[in-house]
Amino acid sequence: MKIVIVGPGAMGLMLAARLAMAGAQVSLLDHRAQRARTINEQGVLLEHSQGQERLAIPAGADSAALADADLAVICTKAYHTQEVARTLRSHLNPQARALTLQNGAENVETLVDALGPERVLGGITSEGATLLGPGKVRHAGRGVTHIGPARGLLDDYTCQVRDLLIKAGFETEANEGVQNLIWTKVVINAGINPLTAILDVLNGQLLELAPAREVMAEAVAEAVAVGKALGVRFLHQDMLAAVQQVARRTGTNISSMRQDVLSKRRTEVAYINGAVVRQGEQVGLPTPVNRTLTQLVQAKEAEYLGEANKD
């Protein structure tokens, strides 16, 4: 199976490295040609608990590479999904599928609109990854990965992808009901990411701060209520306990949102806590904690991005 990882951020690099170590034929697609050249020149450096590995993984900025792919794994920021969907519609092999492992609540729908439901897989992962620089990533915490078809029953293709991820060292399950997967991850991210970005702490430190634990619990409760109103069946009966477990298992990880704030980049808060707010409005549920967290992170963005810099 030929795999193209779209987006060489923390998660994309970690997936590419682990898949390459497992013998998969994998490459990286980047929208920044210079960064792709850097990765080609120096390789991908993966730091992990046993040491580090440097791997020669092809990287490029030419979307034509998608024509030979069997699977495109989308690891870009949620605010790039519309652009990625257009690129996939134009260049992805018609027999290939796309798997999104992105943060946020609306990526699967965007890809389905572009490719059709039969060509889209959705997924979530609680694996922790920290970007150290172009082509450099630290595998900062182990977790569980769930994937499933955008609609319908499990099929052989989805199970093949699951088995490939297992071979690469990821604890992976295949599930039906992709929105259950996505909303489970939305709740986890809503409870962890904005607080780490606002407080400038590691994931695990949230559990050591009583006020932060209280806000986490309130944000999670709102998101769970909205999800249930939408008909979501969460993967865990006690979602707050699941969020706390993820924070604990990725205790030394710098969350993606905190990484964005530290690097003065646009965050995905509008697609995580902001999505909880938007969906809450649709089902008539108030979400004041998620609204406040969204506004606080966006205030930090406004401080360092200004009006001229949108990305």
Per-residue pLDDT of the chain (311 residues; tens, 9 = 90+): 999 999 999 999 999 999 999 999 999 999 999 999 999 999 999 999 889 999 999 999 999 999 999 999 999 999 999 999 999 999 999 999 999 999 999 899 999 999 999 999 999 998 888 899 999 999 988 889 999 999 989 999 999 999 999 999 999 999 999 999 999 999 999 999 999 999 999 999 999 999 999 999 999 999 999 999 999 999 899 999 999 999 999 898 889 999 999 999 999 999 999 999 999 999 999 999 999 999 999 999 999 998 544 44
Indicate the CATH number for domain 2-176. 3.40.50.720
Distant-in-sequence, close-in-space partners of 66: CB < 8 Å, separation ≥ 6: 4, 29, 72, 87, 88, 91, 92, 93, 96
> Could you state, in order of their start, the residue ranges of all structural domains in the chain?
2-176, 180-305
**CATH number of 180-305, picked from 1.10.150.120, 2.60.120.10, 1.10.1040.10, 2.60.40.1930:** 1.10.1040.10
Choosing from 77, 136, 167, 185, the catalytic residue is: 185
Residue 77 annotated as catalytic: no
Distances (CA, A) of 276 to 24, 77, 131, 256, 311: 37, 17, 27, 18, 23
